[in-house]
Amino acid sequence: MRLLGRLLAVPRTCCMEEALFAHAADAHLGSQDRIFMKEGERTAFKELIDTCIGEHVDFLLFSGDLFDSNVPSMNVASFAAQELKRLREHDIPAYEIHGSHDNSPTHSSMIEVLENAGLLVNASRIVQSGDLITLEPIVDRTGVKIYGMPGLREGREKEFYEILDREKLESEQGRKVFMFHSAISELRTGRFAKMEAIPLSYLPHNFSYYAGGHVHARSINDLPGFGKLVYPGPLFAGWGIEDITDYSRNGGGFFLVHMSDDIKVDFVKEEPVKVVVIDKSADGLSSQEYVKELEPSEDYSGTMVVLKLHGKLKSGRVADISSEYLRAAYAKAGAKDVMVSRGELSGPEQKIVRVGTVSQLEETLMAENVKPPYKPELAKALLEVLSREKLEGETDSDYEERLGGEAERIIEDFLSEKKGKKK
């Protein structure tokens, strides 16, 4: 029946034996500020939609952070709407939950606009029941029941899980999918080991599939009592140099999920932009020797080059390492764009503070210097917004208004939360 449906491209009817759906997360549309990477970001999203249409999936699940901001630029929003419209034209519903980036507790978001336009269906249907909350399902035409828990900034969705009536959800019969946008404490590894998370026990048991988002790393977890818990990782390159480095190794992508008596998942890898990461230490080298080491020795045509500079120079100054010179050298070797990261590079007169990553360094400094009633998370969110570059074609006044508006919303969210806790 499935094969016949694909060959004839006919609409599927209710209650088929097998459901086929796509599971994606963390597209962070609008996060890329370099033209070459912007193109890759859009290509990755187009390929997701193309695959959904070409494979005749029953539906698409998007587990949070479709956008990098709750109010992306009109250009980004228009692009997303055009692509989602293609899904609707092929009668493929897109179910989503809000993520920590594209959600705001006090302001409307572009996600809601797309929901009202019929291009997305919000799977988070939270209902108060006494002192507890429960989730109402969306029943897809395949018979699959879809439940969703949104993600919030700073992991505040934990408060929802603490009053969630899990027993009610666990007693529901049929094929069930649980969408969520949180890290799980027991599954954190590597650079995500200290990420804000919820314990596995907060999730309801007895679901066929747990469609995760938020963690920017791909994983498939078969857990007793929980079925298959899957994180697809970022659809493209996420945001930040650590995500781009991971993308250079593993690519981005999403899962096609075959649901029948059991669950089978197939990863669809996306690599619309080739990223080459050059990681070289300055230890034991003079500034002149280090520059020589960093100069391109091969062809980099059509690539995005990321230079990760770190270590301690034997002699010379960090200022001797010219980012402009290196960008020009790699452009001459064919690179489409060059990113230079030098946060962990020091000269002989400087002390190297090894904290792992730039993000971890920022978190350490904020934890040491941001004092109550303010929070390091507030400072980090503001820094992220204020460090964004101008969009292509954006005027100075529009740029200032966009960043100022996003910063204002973050502060208002913080003040609203603080006021609520006082009550």
Count the neighbouring beta carbons within 10 Å of the beta carbon of residue 395: 10
Q: Is 98 a catalytic residue?
A: no
Contact 211, 97 (CB under 8 A): no
Contact 176, 208 (CB under 8 A): yes
Distance CA 290, CA 312 (A): 10
Distance CA 176, CA 169 (A): 9
DSSP annotation of 391 reads P
> Sheet holding 59-62: strands in order across?
121-122, 94-96, 59-62, 19-24, 252-259, 263-270
Residue for token pair 């500020």:
33
| Sheet strands (E) in 136-231 | 138-139, 145-149, 176-181, 183-184, 197-198, 209-213, 219-223, 227-231
137-142-145 Cα angle (round to 5): 20
Distance CA 364, CA 376 (A): 9
Q: Name which of 88, 152, 99 is nearest 121 in CA terms.
A: 88
Count the neighbouring beta carbons within 10 Å of the beta carbon of residue 14: 9
DSSP string, 290-346: HHHHHS--S--TTEEEEEEEEEE-SBS-GGGS-HHHHHHHHHHTT-SEEEEEEEEEE
Catalytic residue among 23, 28, 98, 101: 101
Indicate left, alpha or beta for 7 from its phi (over 0: left) and psi (-120 to 50: alpha).
alpha
Count the neighbouring beta carbons within 10 Å of the beta carbon of residue 259: 21
Question: In this structure, what token pair is assigned to residue 45?
Answer: 């999203």
Q: Name which of 130, 180, 129, 123 is nearest 155 in CA terms.
A: 180
DSSP annotation of 265 reads E
Question: In this structure, what token pair is assigned to residue 119?
Answer: 């291009």
Residue 321, burial from CB neighbour count under 10 angstroms (0-12, 13-18, 19+): buried
Catalytic residues: 101
